[in-house]
Amino acid sequence: MQMPNKPGPGRWAPKLGKQYKGSGKAIFKRLAGYVFREYKTQYVLAAVLIVFSAIASVGGSAFLGIFIDGYVTPIRDGVASGYGGLIGALCLMGGIYLFGAACTYLYNRLMVVAAQGTLKSMRNEMFSHMQKLPLRFFDANTHGSLMSRYTNDTDVMRQLLSQTVPQLISSTVTVLGVFFMMLFYSVTLTAVALVFVGGMFLLTQGLAKKSGKYFMGQQSALGAVNGYIEEMIGGQKVVKVFCHEERAIERFHALNEDLRENGSKANALTSVIGPISNNFGYIQYIVIAFVAALLAVSATPAALSLWGVANGLSGALSIGAIVSFLTLVRSFNMPIQQVTQQFNSIVQALAGAERIFEIMDAQPEDEGGNVTLVRTEQTASGTEERSDGGGWSWKIPDGDSFRYVPLKGDIRLNDVTFGYAQDNPVLHDVSLYAKPGQKIAFVGSTGAGKTTITNLINRFYDVQSGTITYDGIDVREIRKADLRRSLGTVLQDTHLFTGTVMENIRYSRLDATDEECVEAAKLANADGFIRHLPNGYETVLTGDGANLSQGQRQLLSIARAMVSRCPVLILDEATSSIDTRTESLIEKGMDKLMEGRTVFVIAHRLSTVRNAQAIMVLEGGRIVERGNHEQLLAEKGRYYRLYTGKFELD
């Protein structure tokens, strides 16, 4: 069945129902909420350790001048005797740097653990929210694009949390500490340094701002590439059957070129930040060294008293002061360069966070009404709820109390009109009823609307006009989880999960016993091939049951539906991949299974619907004929032509 809003070939760009329009500041603020939700203590402790590490680094640079002027110079000039003070100063300096190294190791460990925990929480929330999204969301977004949110986008956020943020904190504290130490040594030299720093900051900020849109494009293009690769891997048989290898390669080259172009533009701007910063730093170093030499050689004590120097207000700049200041300049430039170099990671991480928040902000599926499904038992005092056993009933709010309607499986469609796109109806004024225990069959050409009817019964989509009632209750008043729990469905596209055969059969009812699962497999005629598998029912299936034939996978899907014990069964092409002999064997088991149950059957092979109480022939979204097999043959209409012409519909 075609769905107009489903992406077709060449439409690989992500299409989310709601785009997250937050600014970089808003995104960062929202991200901080996740950061401090569970790991606040770790992040605060890491921040304290980062401050200590930065202070140790600044202290080591500042102590270098004291070490030269207080210990090395006196020994050189013969003023001090012995090396005891020098050794003690070396030990002190080594202790400062060792303390800083220990703090750096500890905060890196804390940040890695906290960052991984934060991302785990975000992935959990994103996946939980994704389970609540309607099918329309998945119709409009490729699988690879959604997968990219869990892999590429979370990875760039990991780098932000575990590396970039600690680097920013460390650099900020270092810059502030070094700035005040530089002021202590010389206001003049500090002013010269700030001129270069200001120019460098303005230039790098402009480059980073321009690169932001390209990083967002890069993440989107990466998702598109992932989506295409995922589709091509899953559809390799189709590609090879129709000899579309070259076309697939051309399409991939186009998507890959788009990724290259966005990545090149983004990284071309940010990659020049590092070299520019380094060259600014070298020029700054030379200029400051020249100015410091002039101050040390030619400045008078009176002039020096205006600026202030390390050795007092009345002396010239000492060798130790110049060495310390030049070391501080390097310490001042390095964190600024590190900050500018992190713009790449920051912009990329914010782009990734924005894409993740797009999923989290997507409108979840409406849970439905307030009618629920409960187990009940009739007693002398009326209907009472039970935790287990008994029958199933709909629990309907009635004022301040509840009333119970037994679950029977009476489903009726009244003048239903629906389209996947608002302006393109697929069904037109469809009305039908299925009484408890009846088997209703839908036949018709592809795209006639057969599967759409079952999608509406499941409330994968909601009708645009008309009503669908279940035991007299509008399905829109029934909570979706309870509605679907009462329906046993074999979908047109069989899907098996990674796990054992037994686990896949039990998927429809997790409390089913092994004996019930085996009995369901026997009814579905699957027990024979299952027992020939390497480990029987404990054989692990992977890759959507790739080691099984399509027919075997379909038999397991039928067995899964049989285990559910639902009063209503929906069989959408349930036997399309099964040979005629196996189908006849399954029909015997299914006839027993369908006793007392309402069954909707969609089939291309008309031989499978002859025993249905009512057959609905659909064309163009309308029911053009209805009746049982004999009645429709007698009318010699559309069904008659289909049946007598061939047993399979095109």
The per-residue DSSP string of 447-490 comes to TSSHHHHHHHHTTSS--SEEEEEETTEEGGGBBHHHHHHTEEEE
Extract the tokens encoding 286: 């030379």
Band of pLDDT at residue 300, cut at 50, 70 and 90 = very low
Query: How far, rounded to the nearest angstrom, does the alpha carbon of residue 366 sit from its chain's CA centroid?
Result: 20
* 108-153 pLDDT per residue, tens: 888 888 888 888 888 888 888 888 888 888 877 777 778 888 888 8
C-alpha neighbours within 13 Å on the C-beta side of residue 417: 8
Name the nearest CA neighbour of 325 among 313, 311, 338: 311
8 A C-beta contact, residue 598 and residue 435: yes
Q: Is the pLDDT of residue 468 over 90?
A: yes
Q: Which amino acid is at 432?
A: L
Report the pLDDT value the prediction gives residue 471, as an integer from 0 to 100.
93
Angle at alpha carbon of residue 254, lines to 250 and 257, rounded to 5°: 130
Band of pLDDT at residue 3, cut at 50, 70 and 90 = very low
Extract the tokens encoding 253: 């080259």
Extract the tokens encoding 63: 């102590």
Band of pLDDT at residue 296, cut at 50, 70 and 90 = low
* 237-271 pLDDT per residue, tens: 667 766 778 888 888 888 888 888 888 877 776 66
**From residue 133, how far is each of 172, 182, 359, 360, 532 by CA, in Å?**
42, 57, 9, 10, 39
Band of pLDDT at residue 22, cut at 50, 70 and 90 = low
Report the pLDDT value the prediction gives residue 2, as an integer from 0 to 100.
36
Mean pLDDT, all residues of the chain: 78
Could you identify the residue written with the tokens 């785009």? 19
Q: What residues are paired with 432 via a beta bridge?
A: 413
3-class secondary-structure state, position 132: coil
Rg (CA), the chain: 36
Q: Is the pLDDT of residue 382 over 80?
A: no
Q: Which amino acid is at 124?
A: N
Report the pLDDT value the prediction gives residue 306, as an integer from 0 to 100.
35
d(CA 583, CA 616): 22
- In the chain, what are the domain boundaries? 24-361, 372-405, 411-645
Extract the tokens encoding 380: 């002398």
Q: What's 10's DSSP letter?
A: T
Cβ-defined contacts of 127-133 (< 8 Å, 24+): 129/359, 129/360, 129/362, 129/364, 130/359, 132/364, 132/365, 133/362, 133/363, 133/364, 133/365
Name the nearest CA neighbour of 341 among 137, 122, 168, 179: 168
Could you identify the residue written with the tokens 């010239």? 316
Name the nearest CA neighbour of 426 among 135, 136, 620: 620
8 A C-beta contact, residue 573 and residue 492: yes
d(CA 638, CA 619): 9
Could you identify the residue written with the tokens 């189908």? 583
Band of pLDDT at residue 303, cut at 50, 70 and 90 = very low
| Residue 80: φ, ψ to 5° | -105, 145
- Say what percent of the chain tops pLDDT 90: 13
d(CA 459, CA 478): 10
The fold for domain 411-645 equals: Rossmann fold (3.40.50)
d(CA 165, CA 522): 59
**From residue 81, how far is each of 77, 84, 85, 90, 450 by CA, in Å?**
10, 9, 9, 16, 101
Band of pLDDT at residue 11, cut at 50, 70 and 90 = very low
8 A C-beta contact, residue 362 and residue 18: yes
Extract the tokens encoding 57: 């680094």
Domain 24-361 of CATH type 1.10.150.120: no
| Residue 532: φ, ψ to 5° | -90, -5
8 A C-beta contact, residue 615 and residue 443: yes
Whether the model clears a pTM of 0.85, i.e. scores above it, the answer is no
Q: Which residues contact 629 (CB under 8 A, 6 or more apart)?
A: 609, 610, 611, 612, 615
**From residue 333, how far is each of 58, 180, 274 by CA, in Å?**
13, 14, 12
Report the pLDDT value the prediction gives residue 16, as an integer from 0 to 100.
41
C-alpha neighbours within 13 Å on the C-beta side of residue 201: 12
Q: Is the pLDDT of residue 562 over 90?
A: no
3-class secondary-structure state, position 35: helix
- Sign of dihedral through CA atoms 317, 323, 326, 332? negative
d(CA 318, CA 297): 10
Q: What is the mean pLDDT of residues 389-395?
A: 84
**From residue 287, how far is each of 183, 236, 410, 560, 625 by CA, in Å?**
17, 64, 89, 79, 93
d(CA 175, CA 54): 9
93 CB neighbour count, 10 Å cutoff: 16
CA trace torsion 603, 606, 610, 611 (10° rounding): -20
Q: Which of 79-88, 295-304, 396-405 has the highest mean pLDDT?
A: 396-405
| Range in 146-160, 305-319, 435-449, 542-556 the model is least confident about | 305-319
Q: Is the pLDDT of residue 190 over 90?
A: no
d(CA 627, CA 612): 9
d(CA 230, CA 638): 41
Packing angle between helix 580-593 and helix 514-523, nearest 10 degrees? Answer: 130
